[in-house]
Chain A
Amino acid sequence: MIRIILYWIDTHRWFITAILSCVVLANVPTPEGLSENGMDVIAILVMSTIILITAQVPLPTVPLLIAVFQVLLDVNTPKGVSQSFMSDSVFFIMGSLMLAVAIVHQKLDRRIAYWILHFAKGSITRLSTGFILVCAIMASFIGGLTVAAIMLPVAITIVINIDENQKNIRNITLMLMFSIAYGCAIASIGTPSGGARNAVMIDYWSRLYDIKISYFEWIKYAYPMVLIQIPVVAFLLRITFKPEKINIGNALDKLRESVKAEGKMNYADWLTVSIFLFILFLWVTSSDTLGLGIPAFIGVSAYLAFGLISWEEINRGVNWGVVLLYGSAISLGIAMQNTGAASWIANALLSGFTSLHLGGGLLLMVIMAVITMLVANIMSNGPAVAVLGPIFLEVAVLSDMSVILVGFIIAMASSFTYMTVIGSPANTIVYGSNFIKPKDFFKAGWKMSIASIIILTLISATYWQFLQ
């Protein structure tokens, strides 16, 4: 018996630490300027962060505990907590995840493979660029998770066709794998549907600051960043993983003929694309009236009604824990705002920055971008926005910066997850191929991180000022 107890303690030591931290913090004297409930919310935030980083219990435990502790610590009522968990953004996240599963289940990948091989014309650089282009364009609308899942088998098949022994073409392999991972990463901020964290940011603006950003407005701010980064990724991957000098033309031609022989797009493929384009149309033209979640639900209903996917397949493919996680993130964000916890932390951060002569303006934005990027690499992009969003938005208010611009900075920097496996679902999928080692992420990742921070700084100092 004692062995079982000790084993549980051993395998849950960080979870126990997290719960104890929450209980202790909720009971220590409250610092000056912070309300008691504010301290309670900080205690919940600390607990959630420890559990998210250490992952000793299934992640959906975090949203459940956020709800439980808000009620136990008297931060909110059961009714208030449940209401704060649900919003249009959560509908949108739910709908987008279901759409992603529906799209992955179609056979579009063969056609996409054909287009990329056609575009490559036997050149490894063009092949890599083709992957980046396709990933970037698709992932900006349907999310990196979906696109990475679709594109990984295509890349592996190409690699195997070029040479069965990966040791002979290690750099080519890495170049293609990272074309997918980084293509998806840079694209995920292009539109609100590119990543669930974008929807969280839209919700923070709307529910904390009463600022409405439509689907199209988001694109106006964010898409240029996607387009600028496409050639940057292609260039940096080319110089980091110098491809082996071998002739890949024959292998690509052979593969192209093989995927071509498997047929053109069929009725189901066309219907899938048409339904998605219709949803996109609704998002762009009617998000003011329909919101973002309802068009996604229309799309999912259509996929189900036309038999393009079954409910069982959706149920298997959607991680409902992720939906809960984002719901809880929004709920915690609202609690941080309502109790003054966000404002207190923001004040403390700001006085810290000021004492280091870093307060205010562009430099502060860059610092927030770098912190978001580092946290996103450690705890993955979604939770990073959830934890840092309410605090940095409050920093913006206190230092007279634009809440919209700072919100975009956080959302964009959270996509700079180039250095770790767990930074984004696309990284995890590509890493799961067993072709990449964790240290490979750093080889190109640090260069991409610097380049992306520079591009973001330039865009926020020029183009975004013009939009304001």
Chain B
Amino acid sequence: MKLLLCIAGGETSRDTIVAGGKIAAAFNTDLSVLYVGEKHATHMTSAVNLSRMKLSEWKIELPGVKVLEYAEMVLHDLNLLEVDDTGEIVEVHSLKPDINGAYELHAMGKHGQNIRLRLREGEIIDEVIKEVDVGGYDVTIIGASKERRLVQRLIQFVECSLFITKNIQDIDYRFLFAVDETEMSRKALLLGARTAHFLKAEATLLTVVSNDSDIKSGEENLSKAESILQRAGIKYDKKVMVGDPTEIIIEEAGEDHIVVMGSSKSSQLSKFFKATKAVKVVQDGNCPVLIAK
């Protein structure tokens, strides 16, 4: 598994870096930390490049590098990075430009994983989409935007599973699996169950049906889901509820659950014009959300 962790800044993203670092450590997986710097208008590019040339002559680091340095320090504190006898972090290469469209510092993880710190410039969503395309990541970890359109674009166009770290806190989260009959829901269960297993978290299985007559089919969905959690050795409880799925998921999740759900089965065209359940949960809820694709 390959993880992409997108951060919005240094100290302000500490909790996100810690959460991503813990997941990477639990899965013992490759991790790339991506920071997207401000986009410059095309006609300003040469000016910015000239300025950077002068900054490097004065040995002043590129804007954005400090953010990567901070992320590296946090990952080091989490004991994720390999160090040599002198205590220095072992680097495959130091910061280099133009590595798959980004500046990159490549370090080694404690167990031989690749830990990459990457710096791109541009519109955040566009750059994340490009990064996922070149990096072949399985899960992207990213903070939530206040703008619904950005969340919608992210969920529709990023081609891997997403862990949106809304209101992430340093607490022991429970997992809330929002289950339905779809294949995406099953994928979400598998991904969420692995994550919950590694993080030693407990879970709630939730299915929401539109009226009382559907309760039986809801229970069938839950029983299929139960076997997955049982195999993963996760303690869980289960609920079948009637009503609006989005509202109920948000209410049940509160602030101390990580919601796990599949991406919508709607057509691309429909997702383009209409917010899906996942978008609404991210937008209106106040907890992290894992969306499987």
Contacts and interface: CB of A to CB of B under 8 A. Distances in A.
B44 A149 contact: no
Interface of B: 38, 40-55, 57-58, 60, 63-64, 66, 126, 129, 153, 156-157, 267-269, 272
Interface centre among A318, A325, A428 (most CB of B within 10 A): A428
Given A10-B153, A10-B272, A145 B47 contact: yes
B50 A317 contact: yes
Contacts of B156: 3, 6
A432 B40 contact: yes
A429 interface: yes
Contacts of A433: 63
Given A321-B42, A422-B44, A428-B44, A11 B63 contact: no
Nearest to A60: B42
A3 B156 CA distance: 8
Given A6-B269, A7-B129, A157-B58, A59 B46 contact: no
B43 A149 contact: no
Contact of A152 (B49, B54, B129, B272): B54
A149 B44 CA distance: 12
Interface centre among A154, A321, A422, A434 (most CB of B within 10 A): A434
B45 to A, nearest CB: 6
A428 B47 contact: yes
Given A11-B126, A59-B42, A104-B54, A149 B272 contact: no
Interface residues of A, number: 45
Contacts of B57: 107, 109, 153
A168 interface: no
B50 A428 contact: no
Given A6-B269, A152-B55, A145 B50 contact: yes
Given A6-B268, A153-B54, A153-B57, A432 B42 contact: no
B64 A104 contact: no
Per DSSP, are chain A's interface residues mostly helix, strand or loop, or mixed? Answer: helix
B47 A7 contact: no
B46 A317 contact: yes
A11 B123 CA distance: 10
B60 A319 contact: no
A322 B153 contact: no
Contact of B58 (A11, A156, A322): A156
A11 B64 CA distance: 25
Given A6-B272, A7-B129, A425-B44, A316 B49 contact: yes
B42 A58 contact: yes
A59 B41 contact: yes
Contacts of A322: 43, 46
Given A59-B41, A322-B43, A325-B43, A146 B126 contact: no
A166 B51 CA distance: 20
Interface centre among B42, B47, B53, B156 (most CB of A within 10 A): B47
A251 interface: no
